[in-house]
Amino acid sequence: FRRVLFRSKGIQPKTLTLIQDFFKTNNSWNTVDMIAEELGISIVTVRNYLNYLVNEKQITEDINYSTGGRPSMLYKSNPTHL
């Protein structure tokens, strides 16, 4: 992942690196819940960082409609930014 010099308010380098490293080793689609559990950080924190990474085009998001209920967002690394 490329390092961005300007970071949005509330985006901490250590947490950002933790989430970026997760996507370097997990090439499949992941939910916010899966990432939060794996990294041991809150769902709200993960969601904020994922939104940041999507805006920076470092990861891709998609919607999973096959949940049988409310659709969930899925996230995957963007191969062009590895």
- Looking at residue 12, what is its pLDDT? 93
Residue bearing tokens 């924190």: 45
Residue 65 has pLDDT above 60, yes or no: yes
CB 36 within 8 A of CB 43: yes
pTM as predicted: 0.84
Distances (CA, A) of 69 to 14, 25, 65: 35, 29, 8
Four-CA torsion 19, 29, 70, 10, nearest 10 degrees: 20
- Looking at residue 6, what is its pLDDT? 52
